[in-house]
Amino acid sequence: MYIILFYISLTLFFIGLLGLLIQNNLLIILLSLELIIIACSVNFIFISKSFNDANGQICALLLLAVSASETAIGLGLLVKLYLLNYNYPNTLNILYYNKFRH
């Protein structure tokens, strides 16, 4: 039974990884990072349940707290970038900000 849940977690991880590698939109990249973190958290919970140990659940809880803070900071930066450049059509595109590296 737990192997099916592991495959679900693995599928969520690879969907998030695919979104992280393919997309150019900052909002989609943040959502993909959240999906990867949640897949890891779900995997911790399933492994914890299979070994009858609470350490994985505690680690998943801490991982969700870190994920919430990462989301709050990321969305704050995203809103600030959007408000600074709202006259330009591609303000959420990462390729737009890549030209500032040089």
pLDDT on residue 17: 96
Per-residue pLDDT of the chain (102 residues; tens, 9 = 90+): 778 888 999 999 999 999 999 988 888 999 999 999 999 999 999 889 889 999 999 999 999 999 999 999 988 988 888 888 777 777 778 777 776 665
Write the class of the CATH domain 2-101.
mainly alpha
Alpha carbon distance 36, 19 (integer Å):
10
Structure tokens at 66: 């870190």
Q: What is the pLDDT of residue 93?
A: 80
What is the maximal distance between C-alpha atoms in the chain? 55
Neighbouring-strand partners of residue 25? 93
- The full set of domain ranges for the chain reads 2-101
